[in-house]
Amino acid sequence: MKYFSFYYLALWLASGSLMASCGRTDAPAADSTTAAAAGPPASYFEPTETGVQDGGVRIIPINTPKGKFNVWTKRFGNNPKIKVLLLNGGPGSTHEYFECMENFLPKEGIEFIYYDQLGCGLSDNPKDTAMWSLPRYVEEVEQVRQALNLTKDNFYLLGHSWGGILAAEYAFKYQQNLKGLIISNMMMSCPAYGRYADEVLAKQMKPDVLAEIRAIEARQDFANPRYMELLMPNFYAEHVLRLPLDEWPEPVNRAFSKSNQSLYVTMQGPSEFGISGKLTNWDRTADLPKLTVPVLSIGGKYDTMDPEHMRMIATKVQKGNSLICPKGSHMSLYDDQQTYFTGLTKFLKAVDDGTLKPGAEL
């Protein structure tokens, strides 16, 4: 099951196979409609912290069954009514691939908060597989919420890929603390995703390519460089990020190259077309009607996740909207940015001002 194949993609990037040719970091231009917006109020840029200013960074102590650890967060902007906490994918990547948010959300006055989950990026890494647990991560998010004083009057949770699982699981337990929930590029059933990967995505590959991939997996020879040589052009560039490999954005490559392989393999497992980790049987589809908070389900037409399943999520929750990016894949926030951020902004502002119409596709 691939939220991303971080384990081997990280090795690929670390080897310099892709990074050496990826120097393009120029930000995409905003569309004319967004650019014409009035922009955020001056208060958006005012610091909320007293004393020495450090760019909104906050280190938060987290209590766990194995003791206390620190996680890293960084606030961008100031909006008392809309605060979006970002949950990265992987599991095991970093907040860094969310940096494209800076080109879209500030001009709309939307505050967002980077956050490296325990074991990720700039946060502590206990290097203990017992800590890689979905219930424990839910409690971690709740402690972060409390520390940042996020409330039902302003707290939006956006989880991408694995972060979408974490965001949904948090909402099932703590939705009373939420103002809105965004599940980005994630299905609500790991078994269903496994079937989609095997029965739909795999069959879209050239037969000889798929046969060679299957042979490598059968030998469990996942560290074989040929594995990623086949997957990068035939899977990643088709379903993870639909840009030429030498044009993948620098924040994406940087985040992927820092993946925590222990966390990823423990939760997901090593294979590209199957799941064998702790998330193997995770399925919350039947529980979706329990969600009463406004929910936006985002997906991409070419996603690693089934677009129809992601549409379905919005119909099962009580106040759901869907956004399927017609040019997008798993990283729709990069390969269909105008659709992604226009829809996300519309959802956030509509929830805030009470004009959201559940059931519509944004």
Confidence of residue 108 (pLDDT cuts 50, 70, 90): very high
Q: How far is residue 272's CA from residue 311's CA, in Å, rounded to a whole number?
A: 24
Q: How far is residue 276's CA from residue 267's CA, in Å, rounded to a whole number?
A: 8
Query: Quick one: tokens of 120?
Result: 């990720």
Mean pLDDT of 81-108: 97
- The mean-pLDDT minimum among 239-253, 261-275, 332-346 falls in 261-275
Q: What one-letter code names the amino acid at 314?
A: A
Confidence of residue 31 (pLDDT cuts 50, 70, 90): very low
20 pLDDT higher than 60: no
Tell me, what's the pLDDT at 222?
A: 83
Q: How far is residue 185's CA from residue 193's CA, in Å, rounded to a whole number?
A: 11
Decide which of 339 and 361 is more confident: 339
Decide which of 15 and 47 is more confident: 47
26 pLDDT higher than 60: no
Q: Which residues are catalytic?
A: 161, 303, 330
Tell me, what's the pLDDT at 190?
A: 95
pLDDT tens-digit series, residues 154-202: 999 999 999 999 999 999 999 999 999 999 999 999 999 999 998 999 9
The residues near 108 (Cβ < 8 Å, ≥ 6 apart) are 34, 37, 40, 345, 348, 349
pLDDT tens-digit series, residues 209-222: 999 999 998 898 88
Taking the alpha carbons at both ends of the chain, their separation in whole angstroms is 27
238 pLDDT higher than 80: yes
6 pLDDT higher than 60: no
Ramachandran area for residue 26 (φ above 0: left; ψ -120 to 50: alpha; else beta): beta
Tell me, what's the pLDDT at 211?
A: 94
Tell me, what's the pLDDT at 34?
A: 43
Tell me, what's the pLDDT at 274?
A: 63
Q: Which of 55, 156, 167 is nearest to 102 (CA)?
A: 55
Q: Which of 358, 298, 357 is nearest to 328 (CA)?
A: 298
Mean pLDDT of 87-109: 97
Q: pLDDT exceeding 70 applies to what percent of the chain?
A: 88
Tell me, what's the pLDDT at 57?
A: 96
pLDDT tens-digit series, residues 52-72: 999 999 999 999 999 999 999
48 pLDDT higher than 80: yes
Tell me, what's the pLDDT at 273?
A: 64
Confidence of residue 223 (pLDDT cuts 50, 70, 90): confident
pLDDT tens-digit series, residues 281-321: 999 999 999 999 999 999 999 999 999 999 999 999 999 99
28 pLDDT higher than 90: no
Decide which of 14 and 328 is more confident: 328
Mean pLDDT of 251-274: 87
Mean pLDDT of 236-252: 97
Tell me, what's the pLDDT at 14?
A: 56
Tell me, what's the pLDDT at 15?
A: 58
Q: How far is residue 230's CA from residue 210's CA, in Å, rounded to a whole number?
A: 9
- In 3-state terms, what secondary structure has residue 245? helix
116 pLDDT higher than 80: yes
Q: How far is residue 82's CA from residue 348's CA, in Å, rounded to a whole number?
A: 7
